[in-house]
Structure 1
Amino acid sequence: MLIKQSLAYSGRIWEETKGMMRKYFWLASALALVSCQEAQQPNQPPQTPTPPEAVASGADEAEAPAGGARQVKEETDTFVFEYSYPQAAGDNPVLAKWLDNQLEKRRDELALNAARDKETARDNGFPFNKYFSTTEWQVVADLPGWLSLSAEISTYTGGAHSNYGFDSMVWDEERNIPVEPIAFFTSPDALDAVLGKELCEQLNKERGKRRGEPVPEGSTEMFDACVAISEPNLLLGSAGGHKFDRIGVKIAPYIAGPWVEGSYEFTFAMTPAMLETVRPEYREIFAVGK
């Protein structure tokens, strides 16, 4: 889902390059975000791996007691790791365990990659800068039976600068499983058909502000293209506090613009047309926004 560059390509090469570049962030990062598969198949939760000795030795960890918010920070000679989630998530023991499993996976993968690459750098006479990974989960909406969460994730695994992106999910408190926000809708294409045009208009308006000039009409440049609903992270929010009546869209760098433009974020009130794209089994927890 990420990068593209402001060079014009043609034919098959252009199409292949666009697909590769839009996925750059996730492929470039050694730490993948929580996968859609995990959230859509919550009956197969990730197993907590045994932390490697490299993590346990020299690590500086501070965390809140179980049953509430958690904040972890560890630093060794090869990496810095931070991970946190709010009290609303920690108060649900099953959700807390799910998030803790994600914590362990990311921490262990970071430790493994950092140790390996430091050794490789030393063997080849290159300098090594500490790797880092930070994940911060926040509450988007806390409704009866449902907890909508979003995360900001930053990683550095070498290169000119760090990468950052977003993650999101909704916790079904009755079944105690995570659900991807897009899974509440009949399909990404169905939601895109009713929201895509407005998203494109808002995106181009903001692009114009940041670039100091409007997006040229009919441009074929990759960073001028509209963004399909399937590409950014979706968030389910609530202004009324009783049902989901807002859709948030977070677009990480390299999806809609170059790194220097940063991320793009938009919020849309739920419309009757959007409501029609919600799956029947979830329709009662959604409402038209005001």
Structure 2
Amino acid sequence: MRIAIVSALLLLSACGTQTAGNVEAAGGADAVEGSATAGDAQAVKEDNALYEFAYSWPAAAGKIAPVAAILTTERTRLKNELTNDAEAAKAEMDASGFPYRTYAMDKSWQVVTDTPRFLSLSATQYSYSGGAHGMTVSDALLWDRKAQEAIKPIDVFTSSAKLDAATQDAFCTALDRQRAAKRDEPVRRSDDPFSDCIEPVANSTVILGSTNGSAIDRIGFLIAPYNAGPYAEGSYEVTLPVTDRILDAVKPAYRDAFVAR
């Protein structure tokens, strides 16, 4: 078995702009357990008969030791969980005489934006555990330079309810526009849950972005398959400008890091 740690060129998602340089290095089987090298973009990939595992983060995250430590710990946990689940499934399939389908886990972190106050990260995580298809979900992490701590983007708001109230109308308008484009027909409210106007926070991963790299002036909602439409439609992403109403939902301790557009 060979595991390689490779410095990756990672591009950001729709809320900002960031790149990292390419440097390559190789490690042995214990490399996935080790700490990240400060300042490096990291990418671990492992492919064998039991599972496929990949985990990566950009250089901007590697430059912050506590963030690199958080991601290294999560990488180890996810690999251990995948290994244990895959071994158990393989044993069960062998015992029952059914073919085993290789498990998979792939999580990739990207920079959303990097402002004087915050490093905003988002992640796409794909997993497969032998079913009809895999599943893709999102994650987010916000490094607060002032407080020297990692939090979730939703934690900067006074409550999910207040953020929902500030974004619901614009969120649903943007989501329905995307639904209509994918379905090639207008979205009409009905008993079909995939046509309903959903609650933004409960049905998505919230991310924070910036158009200028100085202050947070946009908010994104990453919506997993099934939350806004059938699996075949895939994921949705709604991005909204920070308004005065959204700004009012931000906790006072973080408000100076935001600006309304």
- TM-score normalised by structure 1 residue count: 0.77
> 2:199 & 2:239 partners in 1: Cα distance?
15
Contact 2:109/2:123 (<8 A) preserved: yes
Q: Deviations over 1:68-118 (max 9, x none)?
A: 111101122200100000000001111101100000000000001001100
Contact 1:59/1:76 (<8 A) preserved: no
Offset, 1:59: 4.0
Give RMSD over aligned pairs.
Answer: 1.2
Question: Match of 2:195?
Answer: 224
Contact 2:117/2:257 (<8 A) preserved: no
Question: Match of 1:46?
Answer: none
State how 1:145-184 maps to structure 2 within 5 Å: 145-184=117-156
SS in 1 for 2:211: coil
Which letter maps to 1:109? E
Offset, 1:62: 2.7
- Structure having the larger proportion of residues in helix: 1
Which letter maps to 1:226? C
Contact 2:225/2:233 (<8 A) preserved: yes
Which letter maps to 1:106? L
Q: Relative contact order (alpha carbons < 8 A, sep ≥ 6): 1 or 2 greater? A: 1
1:144 aligns with 2:116: yes
Question: Match of 1:88?
Answer: 60
Question: Match of 2:20?
Answer: none
State how 1:242-281 maps to structure 2 within 5 Å: 242-281=214-253
Q: Deviations over 1:226-284 (max 9, x none)?
A: 12122201110011211111101111100000011111112111111111111111111
Gapped regions of structure 1 (runs ≥ 5): 1-57
Question: Match of 2:19?
Answer: none
SS in 2 for 1:189: helix
> 1:78 & 1:254 partners in 2: Cα distance?
28
Contact 2:156/2:254 (<8 A) preserved: yes
Offset, 1:164: 0.5
- Aligned match of 1:114 in 86, 97, 106? 86
Q: Deviations over 1:109-167 (max 9, x none)?
A: 00010011001000000001111100100000111132000000101111111111111
Question: Match of 1:7?
Answer: none
Q: Deviations over 1:29-86 (max 9, x none)?
A: xxxxxxxxxxxxxxxxxxxxxxxxxxxxx24333446111111011222001000000
Identity of aligned residues (%): 37
The alignment covers a number of residue pairs equal to 231
- TM-score normalised by structure 2 residue count: 0.85
Gapped regions of structure 2 (runs ≥ 5): 8-24, 26-36
- Aligned match of 1:205 in 177, 199, 206? 177
- Aligned match of 2:3 in 55, 60, 63? 60
SS in 2 for 1:115: helix
Contact 2:6/2:44 (<8 A) preserved: yes
Question: Match of 1:25?
Answer: none
> 2:6 & 2:84 partners in 1: Cα distance?
22
Question: Match of 1:194?
Answer: 166
Contact 1:63/1:71 (<8 A) preserved: yes
Which letter maps to 1:220? D
SS in 2 for 1:94: helix
> 1:140 & 1:94 partners in 2: Cα distance?
18
